[in-house]
Each structure stands twice: as C-alpha cells, then as structure tokens.
Amino acid sequence: MFEKIKYSPIKENTTRNLFELLCSDKIDINPDYQRLGKIWSKEKKQLLIDSILNDYDIPKIYFHYLASSSREINNSNKLLAIIDGKQRIEAIQDFMTNKFKLSENFVFIKDSSINLKGFTYQKLEDEYPKIAFDFNNYIFDFVFIETDERDRIEELFLRLNEGVPLNNAERRKSYGGFLVNYSLHEIEILSFFNSKISFENKRLEHFDLYTKLILIESESDLKSFTKSNLDKIIKDNRTENNQILDSITDLNRNLQSTTDLFSDKDELLKSKSSIPLYYLFLFKQEDSDFSNRIYFLKEFDKLRKVNRKETPHNKINQVLIEFDRLNQQGANQKKSLEKRLSILSRYYEQFLLNQNINIETKIKETGLNLKRFTEETDV
C-alpha cells in the first residue's frame, strides 16, 4: 500500500499546530532517508518567514503518516516523519524559539508603515499580536503518505529533492539499515571525526569518508571508491552481521589508536581524498609504527608544498607533482590509490634508511629532512 491520505490526521495544518507537534516530539525529523539538518543559511530562513508573514504560498510539505504503520518501519514510535520540508520546518521552529530575527530588509506588504525589521518572534507577539496570530494560523499544504513500503518512501524523497540534487552520500543515507545507522552514530562519537579531521560535515562528508574506510576494511582486495561499490556495501549490510561488525570493530580500533598522534583539525586531515590513502599506508602495511608513519606523512606533506610553491622550475620533483595530480584527478580509483601508496611507501623506505629508524631523534641530531631524501632517492 502506498497512498495519499485524503483527510488530515492532525488537528490543523497551521504554523502553531506544526510547532506544537514538534515540541511534543510527535514528528520524526530524522528518518533514515533524510539529509542532515541545519543546511539553510540564516538568509534562506528569513526569506521563508517573510513569505509566511506576507501570505505567499510555499511548497508542499510531505509527511509519512506513521500511526497506522507496522513496528518494523515505525521504529521511532511517533505520529509523523518528515519526507520533504525538513529545512522549512526547522526554519519555522528556529524562528518561533527566537534563534534568529527577521531580516533588516523585511517589508510587511499589507502595511508598509509597520516596521518589523530585526524582530524576533517573541517581539512580534508582544508588539503586534494580530500579526503574530496570522503567522500562527498560516495554512500549509501538507501531504500525508500512508505506507509500509520503505523503498517507496525513499523513492519519493529522492524525486522530491531533484530540484536540489542529492549527493551520493545523501542518497546512500536514504537506503537506511544497520550500516547507515551505525556509521552515523560512530562519526558522532569518534574523536577522529568530531575533532581531528579538518573539513566540515554539512552534506554527510564524514559519512562518505567512513563508508570508504569500511570498504577498505571489509574487502580483502583494494577496490575503487565508485558509487556502485559504496552503494553495494551499504545495501549488502542493511541488517547486522558478524562480518560487518568485525570490520567496524577493526576500523574504530585503528582510528582510536592514532587519536593522540593527530592535532585537533589536523592539517594532514584536511583532504577527504587523502585520508583513505593515509589509512592504507598506516594500517595495511607490514609494520605498525604509527608514530613514525604519521610523522613521515606530515614531513612528506611539507615537502610536497615546498616542491609546488618554493622550488625553482628546473628542480621540481616530478614524482611529487604526479602524486599531487593523482590526489586531485581520479583520486577514488584503485589505480590512483595504488600508485600514490607505492610512492609513499618508497619514500618511507628511504626515510627510514636515512634516519636509522629513530626518526625524531635522528632529525634532531643531524638536521636531515625529506628534502635531502628527495635528492637521494630515485623514486
């Protein structure tokens, strides 16, 4: 069964009733298929409130009516789940809890003599209760879908969001299941994700990275990080199983083992395309001297910058230039990963050879650095 409900299962389709349902925790705003919240800028939120106050139409908001659904699909045990309209609903909630003000350019079209610029919701209620009343009773076009077919809900979500295309990670999240839910939980609590890496998570970038690392751990042979491979590991692990649990355990243990060796927002961890490569270099090699390997990676990163920005043209190391090119072009392909890993490994061998293994002590004693190693190696 998949159908629109012809009657409204809630009391009123108004701003006030929507807000009350949110406050009473009767709406699941984060079902499996949803994007991350808080994506809209303050300006977009202000424009939505402007539209409501000035009585413009806004797009339909779609809900999954959960009350008659099976326990299997209604694991939140709530009345409704948002299918489409999450950013609009969050904007309304934020305004009504005074988290942002009306724009300084706001014009109340019904009576331009009334100046509401910079008003919070509370100030609007206090000074213009009639306008606040109209805002609270704005009628939305809500659509309620009744179904137990998760795939149909996910498909509807994707179709409704065609106007603002979902990226691959957002699509993967919409598949739901054990690995999606577990991954989203882990990236919230692992310090590697919430403090060490230095790129934001506005559109599930951390989830995308975690999926790639899980693919490394779960496969005996290295695979390209193609859409089909990443989709497959998510879909194949919608239910809990021992193999994926082992892979998650290994991945989390490895990430935790290096936490103290990276600084917060570490410069080395600013590129999403480099981190899977570094993971391979740290955890899929014969030795496990993480401290030396991370130290080497940081020195290697410095060397690449010097080679790009400070080295005379006739002395530029072309191997390092090729490494940089592969980091940007086709970085998710197996061949690119293998070639970059080979370059790293060969430099590291030379690094250890010249440093007598005890890298930090030898550096201090001799002043040797990777620039010299570059001149000595035939990589």
The mean pLDDT of the chain is 86
Query: Which tens digit of pLDDT belongs to each residue from 293-306?
Result: 998 999 899 989 88
Q: How many helices (H) and strands (E) does the chain have?
A: 18, 5
Instruction: Please tell me what DSSP assigns to residue 14.
Output: B
Residue 189's Cβ-side half-sphere holds a number of Cα atoms within 13 Å equal to 7
Q: Among 250-254, 290-294, 310-314, name the most confident range.
A: 250-254
User: Hey, what are 70's tokens?
Assistant: 């099976």
Q: Please check whether residue 66 is in contact with residue 78, taking contact to mean a CB–CB distance below 8 angstroms.
A: yes
The pLDDT of residue 364 is 44
Indicate the DSSP class of residue 202: T
The pLDDT confidence band at residue 367, using thresholds 50, 70 and 90, is very low
Residue 315 is predicted with a pLDDT of: 85
Give the mean model confidence (pLDDT) for residues 348-376: 57
Count of C-beta atoms within a 10 Å radius of residue 163 = 7
Please determine, for residue 260, whether its predicted confidence score (pLDDT) is greater than 90. no
Beta strands (DSSP E) in the chain are 2-4, 27-28, 61-65, 80-84, 142-147
Give the residue from 289, 244, 210, 6 showing the smallest Cα distance to 281: 289
pLDDT value at residue 312: 86
Q: What phi and psi, each to the nearest 5 degrees, are found at residue 85?
A: 125, 10
Q: Who wins on pLDDT, 308 or 56?
A: 56
pLDDT value of position 286:
76
Give this prediction's pTM.
Answer: 0.61
Residues in the chain: 379
DSSP string, 126-174: HH-HHHHHHHHTPBP-EEEEEES-HHHHHHHHHHHTTTS---HHHHHHH
Residue 352 predicted with pLDDT over 50? yes
Instruction: Give the separation between CA 369 and CA 304, rounded to whole angstroms.
Output: 13
- pLDDT at position 359 is 46
When mean pLDDT is compared across 59-63, 213-217, 219-223, 349-353, the lowest value belongs to 349-353
Q: Report residue 248's pLDDT band, with 50, 70 and 90 as the boundaries.
A: very high
Q: How many CA atoms lie within 13 A of 136 on its CB side?
A: 14
Helix, coil or strand: residue 287: coil
- Taking the C-alpha atoms of residue 171 and residue 165, their distance in angstroms, rounded to an integer, is 10
Question: Residue 70: what pLDDT?
Answer: 56
Of 18-32, 208-222, 319-333, which has the strongest mean pLDDT? 208-222
172-189 confidence digits (pLDDT tens): 887 888 999 999 999 999
Over residues 89-106, the pLDDT tens digits come to 999 999 999 999 999 999
Between CA 376 and CA 370 the distance in angstroms is 10
pLDDT at 360 over 60: no
Q: What is the mean pLDDT of residues 97-124?
A: 96
Residue 249 class from Cβ within 10 Å (0-12 exposed, 13-18 middle, 19+ buried)? exposed
